[in-house]
Amino acid sequence: MHPLVVTIANTGEVVAILLREGNAGSNTAEDHRTVLRQAIAQIPARHRKNIIVRVDGAGATKELLTWIGAQAAEHGYDWRYSVGFDVTEPVRAAIVKVPATAWSAALTPEGKIRKGAHVADLTGLLALADGWSRQMKVVARFEPLHPRHRKQASAIEKKRGQRFLAVAHNLPVTTTSATTSSTATTPASNR
């Protein structure tokens, strides 16, 4: 089985599950749209105006992010997204270009500094392929390279002893210098 599960972050409720075959693709935009339609139908209408859709890397498809924006526009809603983003060679190259002074300490969900983890905005350093929204921002995080990730780490990650991660989002950007690990922003001077 390869199910898709939607939960409401602030209540912990499971609002939709799409059961799929074990060979179902992880980046299947139509399946993501189906389960999100089911989930949103479970949310009372008065609470649908402002939603942040958070998905792991499987949700980082042009089709899904375009659908989220189109649905929000159609209904007059303010929907945002934060999705895991593939750390490809261009993303790694952009991470390496970020000056040391541009990295900010990453925070845990409890607001504490996450030891050895830092975040920075890659948006201005990264040339995205056609089809990605111009409003999309890409934020990178690095953290100490854990032994269990060493085997799949790139040469530059091994050399630096860091694991690279990325998130794409269309959240409003603030000027705080410290950030959360999932919806990171960077100092205004680094944009």
pLDDT tens-place string over residues 9-45:
999 999 999 999 888 888 899 999 999 999 999 999 9
On whether both 135 and 165 belong to a single domain, the answer is: yes
Burial 96-126 (b: 16+ CB within 10 A, else e): eebeeebbbebbeeeeeebeebbbbbbbebb
Domain end residue (candidates: 39, 56, 81):
81
On whether both 104 and 68 belong to a single domain, the answer is: no
What is the domain extent for residue 74? 4-81
Interval 98-133: pLDDT, tens: 999 999 999 998 999 999 999 999 999 998 888 898
Phi, psi (degrees; rounded to nearest 5) at 87: -90, 85
Task: Give the count of domains, the chain.
Answer: 2
Interval 35-76: pLDDT, tens: 999 999 999 999 999 999 999 999 999 999 999 999 999 999
Q: How far apart are CA 53 and CA 65, in angstroms?
A: 10
On whether both 106 and 74 belong to a single domain, the answer is: no
Query: What pLDDT is stored for residue 142 in this prediction?
Result: 97
User: Residues near 73 by Cβ (< 8 Å), separated by ≥ 6?
Assistant: none
Q: How far apart are CA 191 and CA 187, in angstroms?
A: 7
On whether both 179 and 114 belong to a single domain, the answer is: yes
On whether both 138 and 93 belong to a single domain, the answer is: yes
Look-up: residue for tokens 């945002």?
80
Q: In the chain, how many H helices and how many E strands?
A: 5, 9
Domain end residue (candidates: 81, 107, 136):
81
On whether both 72 and 123 belong to a single domain, the answer is: no
